[in-house]
Chain A
Amino acid sequence: MIVYLVKRLAVLLASTAVAGVVVFAFMALLPGDPAEIALGVNATPEAVAQLRQQYGTDRPPVTQFLDWFGGLVTGDFGTSYVTSSPIGPQIGERLAVTAVLVTGGMVIALLVAVPAGTFAAVHHRNPLGAAISAVSQVGIAIPAFLAGILLVFVFAVKAQALPSGGYVPMAEDPAQWLLSLLLPWLSLGLVQGAVLTRYVRSSVLDVMREDYLRTARAKGRGRMGALWRHGLRNASIPVVTVLGLQLATLLIGAVVVERVFVIPGLGDLLLNGVAGRDLLLVQGVVMVLVVAVLLINFVVDLAYAVLDPRLRGAP
């Protein structure tokens, strides 16, 4: 297990470094010099040179990269060329909002998928089970932002029960905070829940036909009793993996959902950064999102090894 852990960790670190190079190289391709853009067309060459020195963009690209990447480790994302404010705290603040959004979405997805998927598996021969499968198939076809628009229409336009957008920080008003996040959570959670329901269903179906479950039933346990005692843990192995992968999907889905509900999260920061041509900011946010996905994959690999020891020997 230790060897496996060290190997995966090495892969994670290497991937992060390569991803850093990719992101940096990509942004370095951007046409235009930040110093020239900041000063406008009438700037003197001296002023541009001076600002370049201040930004550090006069140095060789490799030095600039190492400086930027080294800073990331300590949470220093540099100072924006556009707003002249440090980027790190902004990202931290926005990341907290996005994390709450994603976590809530995941919780709702689980609350939907585990009962619905188990029910659909147990009742797979009758119409109700089939109906759940059909509904989940339709849910999968609806992107999170479309679900958001639908929910706004139902709960904000028709019922006028919930706000159609906007965000209230928890410190300001916890009740309003909860209300402002309810629809975004639902739009992420219901769609992911639909995807997850299918996995839970087929996982439970597989387990239901295992010999050990038949043995448990033969020993006198009821169908739900046997499933509860012996089935769910085994059924959870593939589901946990999918859950991890879905977390990455949710993170990216959150970027779009933030736009729908005007929530000041990472996605909002990223899109504003692109609109304002804030190079370092975009670079920083993209890096944070990529590292988050890499970290999620890392944890998924570990979870896999914990749940299924046979995989520990695999490269």
Chain B
Amino acid sequence: MRGRMNAGLIVGGTLVALVVIAALVSFVWTPHDPTLVDAARKLREPGGGYLLGADKFGRDTFSQLMVGARTTLYVGIVAVGIAALIGAPLGMIAGMTPHGWLSELVMRVNDLVFAFPALLLAVMLGAVYGAGTLTAMIAIGVATVPAFARVARAATMQVMVTDYILAARAAGRGRMAIAGRHVLPNIASMLIVQASVSFAIAILAEAALSFLGFGTRPPTPSWGRMLQESQELLFSTPRLALWPGLAIALAVLGFNLLGDGLRDYLDPKLRRIRERTRRSERSGGPTKEGLRGVSEER
């Protein structure tokens, strides 16, 4: 049974759609070359074909924002992809054999990875292989694996005690068949919600890493680095910090709202699985888990 469209879904979906459209359009068109350095346009005020003005190198801010959206989505998709492809199967294995040694091993390794936040991983990877978009994506992805594994495990454990799994086992279905035919479709909606929330966290992490110089390398535009470059000019030209800051905040807000909205829309049953959040959700309020990778399954 599907829920109704809700405010989170609409607002979040719109914000995410804006970022996606900006990124897609930037492939075929930007007002100006986002990486073109031109001393004549240095710190140019907004207007006259330069919608948001230009930065200290004379690069068009609006064009940079558009291509920055591409960087943001690229990092998010790869990082969340890594996390989902590793985390979800591990969590399913752990959830299907909750008392086995394999489950124990998966969860212990999970706890260990949890102790290495994306930032530390990226700094370590950066120190060894040189910082860049690739190391940032891998670091964020690996650091997000535990969140997926925990959600997949908790959801799988809920599914495994249902009658239809019992029926499938009685009918002689093997583990793989049960996992593919019964478990995965039933936990998919939770994984989709987790993906949306993780995407928001990945955007935050990429921005922080680029800000520190451990993310996307110049000249590729990135919102985090735009912020870092604008910091010294905060006293004279604050608008340079305003736009990338706004872009980061709106993108993160969009993915967070989309995650909350999807949770309600895709499967109202999730409310029962997610401990103690049922009543606050009915009152139209926010849910407490899923933020910043904090999972209910601890």
Contacts and interface: CB of A to CB of B under 8 A. Distances in A.
B9 interface: no
A19 B111 CA distance: 11
Given A140-B256, A201-B286, A202-B277, A157 B234 contact: yes
Interface in A230-288: 238, 241-242, 245-246, 248-249, 252, 255-256, 259-260, 270-271, 274, 277, 282, 286
A29 interface: yes
Interface string B247-279: 011101100110000000000000000001101
A198 B291 contact: yes
Nearest to B125: A26
B32 interface: no
A94 to B, nearest CB: 15
Nearest to A304: B298
Interface string A5-28: 000000100010011001100110
Given A141-B256, A203-B288, A274-B123, A290 B245 contact: no
A63 to B, nearest CB: 22
B256 A11 contact: no
Contact of A238 (B128, B252, B276, B291): B276
B235 to A, nearest CB: 5
A22 B115 CA distance: 12
A3 interface: no
Contacts of B241: 149, 153
A103 interface: no
Contacts of A140: 252-253, 256, 291-292
Of B124, B207, B250, B279, most buried by chain A (CB within 10 Å of CB) is: B124
A151 to B, nearest CB: 11
B116 A290 contact: yes
A195 interface: yes
Given A259-B212, A297-B115, A141 B127 contact: no
B76 to A, nearest CB: 14
A247 to B, nearest CB: 12
Contacts, number: 157
Contacts of A255: 119, 212
Given A143-B248, A205-B283, A274 B126 contact: yes
A157 B207 CA distance: 23
B204 A143 contact: yes
B285 A202 contact: yes
A198 B108 CA distance: 29
B231 interface: yes
B281 to A, nearest CB: 8
B294 interface: yes
A138 B208 contact: no
Given A27-B127, A202-B277, A238-B276, A248 B117 contact: yes
Contacts of B285: 124, 133, 201-202, 205
Contacts of B126: 274
Contacts of B127: 27, 30, 274, 277, 282
Contact of A146 (B248, B277, B287, B294): B248
Contact of A202 (B111, B120, B287): B287
Interface residues of B, number: 49
Contacts of A27: 124, 127-128
A168 interface: no
A297 B108 CA distance: 13
A22 to B, nearest CB: 8
A136 B256 CA distance: 12
Contacts of A209: 279
Contacts of B256: 137, 140-141
A125 B283 CA distance: 8
B272 to A, nearest CB: 14
A199 interface: yes
Contacts of A51: none
Contacts of B252: 140-143
A213 interface: no
Given A146-B248, A252-B119, A23 B124 contact: yes
A255 B126 CA distance: 16
A30 B127 CA distance: 7
A248 B253 CA distance: 22
B291 A145 contact: no
B104 interface: yes
Nearest to A253: B208
Contacts of B112: 15, 18-19, 22
Interface string A91-121: 0000000000000000000000000000000
Contact of B108 (A11, A270, A286): A11
Contacts of B277: 202
A18 B115 CA distance: 11
B124 A26 contact: yes
9 contacts: A137-B257, A143-B252, A145-B207, A152-B234, A209-B279, A255-B119, A256-B212, A290-B120, A293-B115
Interface of A: 11, 15, 18-19, 22-23, 26-27, 29-31, 124-125, 133, 136-138, 140-143, 145-146, 149-150, 152-153, 157, 164, 195, 198-199, 201-203, 205-206, 209, 238, 241-242, 245-246, 248-249, 252, 255-256, 259-260, 270-271, 274, 277, 282, 286, 289-290, 293-294, 297, 300-301, 304, 315
Give 5 closest A-B pairs by Cβ, nearest first.
A141-B253, A141-B252, A202-B280, A205-B280, A202-B288
